[in-house]
A and B are shown apart, each in its own frame.
Chain A
Amino acid sequence: MAESSNRVIVTVVGHDRTGIIAETSRVLADAGVNIVDISQTLMGEFFVMIMMADLAGATLSLEQLKARLAAKGTELGMRIDVQHEDVFKFMHRV
């Protein structure tokens, strides 16, 4: 099986408002995390933003990053989750 990567998927779910991308990106940039790709969509009434980010140059551990993003989510009234890319690879690709 391929080596485990350093990439994570960040999901932001909630009601749309200004500054979601900017605020989330800032947390990632401050932690030295490179955003590889970003997509956003509306699912029903919810705004959903999905980012793929690379932790190779990160100054924070995944756990610390999760805590920061969760806190930012609370501040924005959104839910922000971070999960390792492998989780999605395993679940959705055979």
Chain B
Amino acid sequence: MPSLRFDPEEILETVKMVQMENLDIRTITMGISLRDCAHPSLAAAARKAYDKICRTARALVATGDALEREYGIPIINRRISVTPIALVAESCEADDYVLMAEQLDRAAAEVGVNFIGGFSALVHKGCTPGDTRLIDSIPRALATTERVCASVNVASTKAGINMDAVARMGEVIRECAGLTRDRGGLACAKLVVFCNAVEDNPFMAGAFHGIGEPDCVLNVGVSGPGAVLSAVQRAPGADFGELASIIKRTAFKITRMGELIGRRASERLGVPFGIVDLSLAPTPAKGDSVARILESMGLERVGAHGSTAALALLNDAVKKGGAMASSHVGGLSGAFIPVSEDIGMIEAAAAQALSFDKLEAMTCVCSVGLDMVAIPGDTPAATLAAIIADEAAIGMINRKTTAVRVIPVPGKGVGEWVEFGGLLGRAPVIPVNRHDCSVFVRRGGRIPAPLQALNN
């Protein structure tokens, strides 16, 4: 008789992770190249994009549903990323690309995904006319569609920071907020400004299908802050070395689930498996908070001194544990610290334990950047641009991805709340520095790339 081959402890650990600790696959994201959809007519290009997405992703949602049932692991989101639209639409004779966004939105609805990313431009060295048209189209594109996400890469370690684009993105964020004033500035929650954007990120709102990617690929984003939290809580007396080991072991197990689902999904869809992004992605649900992990290490509230060190340990241990669990690790991989999507972060912001400046410091060691932070609605475009510049500088110098997704909530001031609902959550408006930086932002040009020991 074959044996069970697993210890009861192992079996119960897995059951507990899934049933009680919210272990889930956060997203299976299909990357689709739209490079073959270019056409002089925007309507024709948008039609081709619509057709290709519907054709390629038609089985994505059903496959995700079937895997979820068979393996008993929740798969929260099915999503699509596409080639940066600035590239696809560049040769269209059109003044703006809103029509393309509308067709992407329709395609996403048609195949049943909740977000489609890639209304994007990569402008870290400068803008082509297509890039400029895309950036100008972002506010209307995001205000008139439901599922489309936009991103703009304004800096990289190798190219430096395109400060003209940074200044423009400050204005774009304000326009986005203004056009969705009745929804708390919701369009801003669908716009990410990057430094060192990655080409295979499966997480929204910053996902796009990079130009080095194949025609179609499947990327998986795992999650599981709850499982890590519970492992950390079980070891109250552990020193930091032990703590890192505990997190590594848990991250390994979580990532294995991503690898399993990713492989199976790619087999069934007949699409190459790209990467597992081993991120701890919080949700507003109880027990699904990254902040709580940091607090369980011994901080009264996230935002207290020590938070950056705690996050550094967590982020690194997650990467180390996950790296061996998957044949291809990619994306952003680490711990996300969105404010409105994490109950611990929301509470800390409301209790004024977590300041904007501390968040910025924490982004030096987290997987991405300033994420889902609600700030006063009257924050000037120049201040928004300077926030982006600071964040891009952190990414550029530290050779990591950083990003800004902030919401200047129209008509609201410090201490008031904004409610986005669902996974986007809710957050109190927190103060930003009010001193003027417009002269700095207006200088224009590029901040040169840092020296990197002349390595090529």
Contacts and interface: CB of A to CB of B under 8 A. Distances in A.
A82 B72 contact: yes
B256 to A, nearest CB: 4
Contact of A81 (B1, B2, B72): B72
Contacts of B257: 87, 90-91
Interface residues of A, number: 28
Nearest to A46: B12
B8 A39 contact: yes
A41 B15 contact: no
A50 interface: yes
Contacts of B18: 83
Contacts of A11: 11-12, 15
A76 B173 CA distance: 56
A1 to B, nearest CB: 7
Nearest to B7: A92
A92 B263 contact: no
Interface in B342-385: none
B385 to A, nearest CB: 45
B47 interface: no
Interface residues of B, number: 26
Contact of A48 (B8, B10, B70): B8
Contacts of A22: none
Interface string A29-62: 0000000110101010000101010000000001
Given A9-B11, A90-B256, A84 B70 contact: yes
B21 to A, nearest CB: 13
From A41, A50, A63, residue with most partner B Cβ within 10 Å: A50
Contacts of B71: 83-84, 86-87
Given A62-B70, A82-B72, A87 B1 contact: no
B19 interface: yes
Contacts of B324: 94
Contacts of B253: 91-92
A41 B19 CA distance: 20
B2 to A, nearest CB: 6
A37 B18 CA distance: 23
Given A87-B72, A87-B73, A91-B257, A81 B19 contact: yes
A43 B339 CA distance: 39
From A41, A43, A83, residue with most partner B Cβ within 10 Å: A83
A9 to B, nearest CB: 6
Given A37-B3, A91-B257, A83 B72 contact: yes
A17 to B, nearest CB: 19
Contacts of A79: 19
B77 interface: no
B1 A37 contact: yes
Contacts of A13: 12, 15
B260 A86 contact: yes
Contacts of A36: 1-2
A63 B70 CA distance: 7
Nearest to A81: B15
A65 to B, nearest CB: 11
Nearest to B66: A63
A92 B252 CA distance: 9
B72 A66 contact: yes
A87 B69 contact: no
Contacts of B12: 11, 13, 43, 48
A84 B256 contact: no
Given A37-B2, A83-B72, A90 B8 contact: no
Contacts of A1: 263
B33 to A, nearest CB: 27
B14 A88 contact: yes
B453 interface: no
B8 A41 contact: yes
A18 interface: no
Contacts of B69: 62-63
A60 B302 CA distance: 48
Contact of B11 (A4, A50, A63, A94): A50
Contact of B15 (A62, A63, A83, A84): A83
Nearest to A7: B2
Nearest to B6: A88
A48 B18 CA distance: 17
Given A1-B263, A4-B264, 6 more contacts: A13-B15, A37-B1, A63-B69, A79-B19, A81-B19, A84-B70
Interface of A: 1, 4, 9, 11, 13, 36-37, 39, 41, 43, 48, 50, 52, 62-63, 66, 79, 81-84, 86-88, 90-92, 94
12 contacts: A13-B12, A13-B15, A37-B1, A39-B8, A50-B8, A79-B19, A83-B15, A83-B71, A86-B71, A87-B260, A88-B14, A90-B256
Interface of B: 1-4, 6, 8, 10-12, 14-15, 18-19, 69-73, 253, 256-257, 259-260, 263-264, 324
For the complex of A and B, list the 5 residue pairs with the smallest distance between their C-beta atoms, beginning with the closest. A90-B260, A90-B256, A83-B72, A92-B10, A91-B253
